[in-house]
C-alpha cells in the first residue's frame, strides 16, 4: 500500500472542508464547529508544548488567547472598518484579504511578548510558580480588558464581522475556514518541528531531568522562555481567529474556564503527544456541542469525564505516544515515525 504523507492528507482534508463550506453543503452551524475545532487544536497543541513536552504547569492559556484576540481585532477594525471607536478606515476593506494573516501573526507576536513577561519571573524558580503566575496573568488580562472602556470594557468588542464581510465582498469564499485551518496546520507543523529539533528536545530533557539538562549543556532558562513564547504566541493566533470567527469578543470569553478547557484537552489527549492533542481537540469540541442541551450541567459532565480519565487512564488517551505508536496499522498510511519526521 502506498504511504501517504501527512501533508497530503492534510491537503485533502483542507480542500474537502473548504470546498464543502463554499458550496454550502455544510450548514453554517457545522462550519462554525469545524472552525472551533481548528482553534481548539491550536489551543491544545500549544499548551501541550508547556504542560506536556516541557513538564511545567501553565494554567492561564486563555489570557494569551485574549491578548491575541484583542490585538488582532483592534487592528483589523481600526484598519478596515468605519466605526465609532477609530473613525474612518485607514485602508480599503478589500486589503484585509491579504493583510489578515500578517495581522494574525502580529497578534501572536504580542501574545508571545506577554508570554515573555510572564516567563522571565516565573522560570527563575522551579515548581508551581508558573501555575500561580499564569493563573494570575489570566485574571489580570481579563480584568484589564474589562476596565478599558475604549475597547468596550465588559461589554465586549465587535466589528470583526464587518471585516470578514469586507473580505467576502472581494471573493465569496469561506475566508475564516481557510485561515483557521491553515493556521491550525501551521501550529502543528511548527510544534512538530520544534520538538524534533535538537534545540527543542532540550525542553523534553528539562521535563525528564532538569539538572541533568542544565549540566549537559542545555541553556534551560533560554529554552523555557523560547518554548513559552512559542506556546503563548500560538495561543494568541488562536485567539485572533476565534475573534474573527465569532465577530464579537468579550472578556468573559477568556476566563479561567477557557484555560481549563485547554487543560482538559491536553490531559485528555495525552501529555507530550501531538496527535493526542489534535484528537482530543476534535473530541472535546464535539462533546461540548453534543452536551449543549444540558446547558450549565455540561460543566458537571465534562469534569466528570476528566475524573474518569485520571482514574482509569492517567496518561491520557495517547500519553507521550503518537497515534502511529498506538495503532501500528496506521503506519501503512502515515509512514513510520521516522518517515513522518522526515516529511515534516
Partner 1 sequence: MPLFEVRGLTHFFGGLKAVSNFNLIFEGGELMGLIGPNGAGKTTIFNLVCGVYHPTHGEVKIEGRDLTGLYPHQVTSMGIARTFQNIRLWPEMTVLDNVRVAHNYKLNYGFLDAMFQTSRYRTAEKEIDRMAREVLEILKLRDHAEELAKNLPYGLQRKVEIARALVIRPKLLLLDEPSAGMNLGEKEALIGLIRWMRKEFNLTIWLIEHEMRVVMNLCEKIQVLDFGEMIAYGTPEEIQANPRVVEAYLGKEMD
- Rounded to an integer, what distance in angstroms lies between the CA atom of residue 292 and that of residue 36? 14
Task: Report the residue number, 205 or 340, with the smaller CB distance to partner 1.
Answer: 205
Q: What share of the chain is helix, strand, coil (3-state, %, to 5)?
A: 80, 0, 20
The closest alpha carbon to 232, from 116, 75, 74, belongs to: 116
> Contacts with partner 1: how many residues (CB under 8 A)?
29
* Distance of closest approach, residue 211 Cβ to partner 1, in angstroms: 7
- Rounded to an integer, what distance in angstroms lies between the CA atom of residue 176 and that of residue 193? 25
Q: Figure out which of the listed residues 36, 123, 194, 228 binds partner 1, where binding follows CB under 8 A.
A: 194
- Rounded to an integer, what distance in angstroms lies between the CA atom of residue 60 and that of residue 11? 32
CB of 232 closer than 8 Å to CB of 49: no
Per-position x/- string for 239-278, each x denoting binding to partner 1 as judged by CB under 8 A, each - no binding: ----------------------------------------
- Rounded to an integer, what distance in angstroms lies between the CA atom of residue 325 and that of residue 342? 17
- Burial (Cβ within 10 Å: 0-12, 13-18, ≥19) of residue 67: buried
How many Cα atoms sit within 13 Å of 137 on the Cβ side?
Answer: 27
Task: Report the residue number, 216 or 300, with the smaller CB distance to partner 1.
Answer: 216
Residues 198-237 that bind partner 1 (CB under 8 A): 198-202, 204-205, 207-209, 211-221, 223, 226, 230
Task: Report the residue number, 243 or 271, with the smaller CB distance to partner 1.
Answer: 271
* Distance of closest approach, residue 190 Cβ to partner 1, in angstroms: 6
Task: Report the residue number, 175 or 185, with the smaller CB distance to partner 1.
Answer: 185
Altogether, the residues listed in the chain come to a count of 344
Residues 152-191 that bind partner 1 (CB under 8 A): 190
* Distance of closest approach, residue 79 Cβ to partner 1, in angstroms: 27
Task: Examine residue 313 and tell whether it contacts partner 1 (CB under 8 A).
Answer: no
- Rounded to an integer, what distance in angstroms lies between the CA atom of residue 42 and that of residue 109? 15
User: Applying CB under 8 A, which residues contact partner 1?
Assistant: 190, 193-194, 197-202, 204-205, 207-209, 211-221, 223, 226, 230, 320
Amino acid at each position: 500500500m502506498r504511504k501517504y504523507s501527512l501533508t497530503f492528507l492534510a491537503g485533502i482534508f483542507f480542500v474537502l472542508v473548504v470546498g464543502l463550506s463554499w458550496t454550502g453543503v455544510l450548514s453554517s452551524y457545522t462550519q462554525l464547529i469545524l472552525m472551533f475545532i481548528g482553534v481548539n487544536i491550536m489551543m491544545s497543541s500549544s499548551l501541550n508544548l508547556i504542560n506536556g513536552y516541557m513538564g511545567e504547569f501553565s494554567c492561564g492559556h486563555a489570557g494569551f488567547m485574549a491578548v491575541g484576540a484583542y490585538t488582532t481585532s483592534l487592528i483589523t477594525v481600526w484598519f478596515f472598518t468605519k466605526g465609532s471607536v477609530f473613525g474612518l478606515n485607514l485602508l480599503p476593506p478589500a486589503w484585509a484579504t491579504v493583510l489578515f494573516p500578517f495581522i494574525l501573526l502580529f497578534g501572536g507576536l504580542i501574545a508571545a511578548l506577554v508570554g515573555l513577561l510572564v516567563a522571565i519571573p516565573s522560570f527563575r524558580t522551579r515548581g508551581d510558580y508558573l501555575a500561580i503566575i499564569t493563573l494570575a496573568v489570566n485574571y489580570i488580562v481579563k480584568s484589564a480588558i474589562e476596565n478599558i472602556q475604549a475597547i468596550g470594557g465588559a461589554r465586549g468588542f465587535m466589528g470583526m464581522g464587518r471585516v470578514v464581510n469586507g473580505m467576502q465582498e472581494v471573493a465569496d469564499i469561506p475566508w475564516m475556514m481557510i485561515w483557521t485551518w491553515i493556521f491550525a496546520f501551521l501550529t502543528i507543523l511548527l510544534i512538530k518541528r520544534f520538538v524534533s529539533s535538537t534545540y527543542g528536545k532540550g525542553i523534553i530533557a528539562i521535563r525528564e531531568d532538569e539538572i541533568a539538562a542544565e549540566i549537559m549543556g542545555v541553556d534551560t532558562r533560554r529554552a523555557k522562555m523560547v518554548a513559552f513564547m512559542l506556546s503563548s504566541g500560538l495561543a494568541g493566533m488562536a485567539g485572533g481567529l476565534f475573534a474573527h470567527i465569532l465577530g464579537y469578543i468579550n472578556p468573559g470569553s477568556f476566563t479561567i474556564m477557557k484555560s481549563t478547557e485547554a487543560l482538559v484537552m491536553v490531559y485528555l489527549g495525552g501529555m507530550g503527544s501531538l496527535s493526542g492533542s489534535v484528537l482530543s481537540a476534535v473530541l472535546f469540541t464535539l462533546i461540548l456541542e453534543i452536551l449543549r442541551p444540558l446547558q450549565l450541567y455540561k460543566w458537571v459532565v465534562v469534569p466528570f469525564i476528566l475524573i474518569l480519565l485520571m482514574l482509569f487512564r492517567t496518561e491520557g488517551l495517547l500519553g507521550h505516544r503518537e497515534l502511529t505508536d498506538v495503532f501500528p496499522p496506521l503506519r501503512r498510511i502515515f509512514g513510520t515515525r521516522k518517515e513522518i519526521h522526515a516529511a515534516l
